Structure 1
């Protein structure tokens, strides 16, 4: 593979789409403000109480807009996934959580103050009359639910939850938004019937929840029924690591690429409520697919022991950790632990020429060299160079490599001499990946040539 005009053109097309999405995000917030001002809001700053109330309304409208944008980003819409990837979409989703909550809290506080000043009573005493207004108690419930969602999103708190428990709590965000809808439509005439402002907001709600209904529920359900995946065999390849082979129908029509992942659900009494984001560990044929799973908790341990014949439902494929993301003439791959799974499929799918790719395989012990034999064989057939590192991580300046290599002065650039002319793909445990990424960035590699796949949520 060369740095072809086609790949440059694809990259520029993705960047244009990405810029358009960012512009649409901010334009939606600006539209919320502009429509409020256009439909009478501009004249509601005549007194201090009116000004405070109007600022509170604006905060609520922009905060609600951010929440709806977050829902769209979490809906796994194909065009968003193909443009920025699931990881980056969720990163933006998370970054909007706190601002949205702060805006909605400001909305509530400012309205209480503004209404209290207008009626001549203190803000605390104003709460009781507000709660007597139809639909407003639902709005307070919605804010309470959003506070719970944001708190559980904090890293220190999220780690105390299983993926399923955390996901269940986050379903509250949909309920929180829905219970707030009635007060938007009925209180204060802000979204008066027959106005473009009302039509605009209803359209945003339909887009957000329609995206969730379509891409998180309907499409996965239809695909799962159509392709009829079932567990064909389970093979242990290392202590605590198994490969799950599945059979199905017309799997190539999914158009999955090496490096992508699916979200899997295994229908047994112990596992049906678990959903697992796991990468393919080899390219699927029309009738078979394979994933490789490491026992990292209760959920992954349970699916590694499901019986042969178990029905499997799925969502996907997702992710842009694929050959389509390349923009440079060379290819560098650094992988550790179970991160080998998307890399193995990526390498199988990649159209590379002899001498073009260099691969670093990293493990703490020889027991963690999962699928190394398959990757090394693929590399041999494609003319790629493979380096291996086995040993406990150094406590020195480069903690992503074994101590002996750090002491010898090994660096990312010494492993990949043509790093600046390469697309660097990195996959592995988050702490390890962060160290590799930091060294790559400090070396000056352009951001569009750095591709990462994290195994966290």
Structure 2
């Protein structure tokens, strides 16, 4: 069964179970009394919001079995989608509960809200949780996200864990499912406990164990261009690290000023059991300083992450499409496929604005010559029009790779280029099962 069906099936099963426990526990009892129906709907929506919150925890846990099959792109998209559902369900819960008690007490809604927050059990904790979730939701909107540095966004976002804890204590103290039903109480404790345990094991325990085992350090820093540097990282027993070409880690370089920052960078070379290599472009303060990181600097790495690997391959022949510094995982994949002696045929299209921007073109050329791959370096602005139409349009791609429909296609680059290429490939009739895309905006 596909991982997507597992997720949707489990979510539907838990939704049905939560509804069943709610109804059997008398969730709608007294609905004919003033405000009774509103209170019942509010409690039910609160339970659904709690389920969506648990789904958020499962997605952010980045379970290796799930993440390696779906990829970080898919998990991130679902995390974002379910996050907004959490916010809307929680807000609806607040509105219906407030209106229900206001109807019951015959008081204005705003007055009732103040009474609930400051006099009823742990409702103040829940109110703080709601405010935190609203803040997380606002900063997660695309317009706000584009204006924030990654570090600031991550600082705000991590407070969602505090909201989860506060909401849970609110549910424990006054939630009818907890106070009135031992079965429901056991169910919710198990659900939250399993989700939090998954986060502790995969996001904390496993990275700690791996970093203690491998003891990563910067070995060398090589300048590729004025704004691009390659960093070689060594350690112990790296042949035991389950990393593949096309994957990425969250890297934390332990310098005095930057040890709190973690950034996602793809491997720019196939792991060889001796070194890990990343190639970083100076896109902001968080990456520009890495050009000056000193050999010997300790490194903490969380991962590997990503499903953009040879495991996705379904055919012998492959097309690799890279844009800008999104070439890093493509270069690693080319090296892996180059070592594959199954008689496969590989074509690479490397898209860059200028020759200077094609930072790994020489390495790609050497690898292509070694394994007999065909490399096409396509230069020019995104608006450029060639004799076969727009750059990276369907006619242009077909002119470079006439048999594209008989290939697995790996695409990695900025979101705009990735969308344009995937659209062009769809127009050329490439089946979706043969198209594997990674958005450089997160992973490279």
390, 394, 406: which one aligns with 2:389: 406
Distance across 1 between alignment mates of 2:372 and 2:264: 31
Asked if 1:106 corresponds to 2:95, the answer is no
Give the equivalent residue in structure 2 for 1:267: 254
433, 437, 442: which one aligns with 2:418: 433
Q: Which TM-score applies when normalising by structure 2? A: 0.93
Distance across 1 between alignment mates of 2:182 and 2:390: 70
Give the equivalent residue in structure 2 for 1:94: 80
Give the equivalent residue in structure 2 for 1:330: 317
Give the equivalent residue in structure 2 for 1:6: none
Question: What does residue range 42-441 of structure 1 map to in structure 2 within 5 Å?
Answer: 42-47=28-33, 49-131=35-117, 132-187=119-174, 189-192=176-179, 195-350=182-337, 351=340, 353-354=342-343, 356-394=345-383, 403=386, 406=389, 410-441=395-426
Give the equivalent residue in structure 2 for 1:4: none
SS in 2 for 1:41: coil
Instruction: Give the conservation status (yes or no) of the 8 Å contact 2:25–2:180.
Output: no
Report Cα offsets for 1:223-261 as digits up to 9, x if no partner.
Answer: 112101111110101121111111101112112111010
Using the TM superposition, give the Cα deviation of residue 44 of structure 1 relative to its aligned residue in structure 2, in angstroms.
Answer: 4.5
Asked if 1:449 corresponds to 2:434, the answer is yes
Report Cα offsets for 1:338-364 as digits up to 9, x if no partner.
Answer: 111101111212236446221111111
RMSD of equivalent CA atoms: 1.9
The verdict on how the C-alpha distance between 1:44 and 1:323 changes in structure 2, with shifts beyond 3 A counting, is farther
Runs of 5+ in structure 2 lacking a partner? none
Distance across 1 between alignment mates of 2:398 and 2:37: 58
SS in 2 for 1:296: coil
Instruction: Give the conservation status (yes or no) of the 8 Å contact 2:126–2:166.
Output: yes
Q: Which TM-score applies when normalising by structure 1? A: 0.91
Deviates more, 1:386-395 or 1:38-47: 38-47
Deviates more, 1:254-263 or 1:322-331: 322-331
Deviates more, 1:17-26 or 1:96-105: 17-26
Instruction: Give the conservation status (yes or no) of the 8 Å contact 1:18–1:83.
Output: no
Runs of 5+ in structure 1 lacking a partner? 1-14, 396-401
Instruction: Give the conservation status (yes or no) of the 8 Å contact 2:245–2:267.
Output: yes
Distance across 2 between alignment mates of 1:358 and 1:96: 38
Report Cα offsets for 1:107-145 as digits up to 9, x if no partner.
Answer: 001001111112222322212321201200111111110
Report Cα offsets for 1:170-201 as digits up to 9, x if no partner.
Answer: 11111111111122112153322662211111
Using the TM superposition, give the Cα deviation of residue 153 of structure 1 relative to its aligned residue in structure 2, in angstroms.
Answer: 0.5
Instruction: Give the conservation status (yes or no) of the 8 Å contact 1:392–1:403.
Output: no
Distance across 2 between alignment mates of 1:110 and 1:193: 21
19, 22, 43: which one aligns with 2:5: 19
The verdict on how the C-alpha distance between 1:376 and 1:22 changes in structure 2, with shifts beyond 3 A counting, is farther
Instruction: Give the conservation status (yes or no) of the 8 Å contact 1:264–1:275.
Output: yes
Distance across 2 between alignment mates of 1:370 and 1:188: 58
Give the equivalent residue in structure 2 for 1:5: none
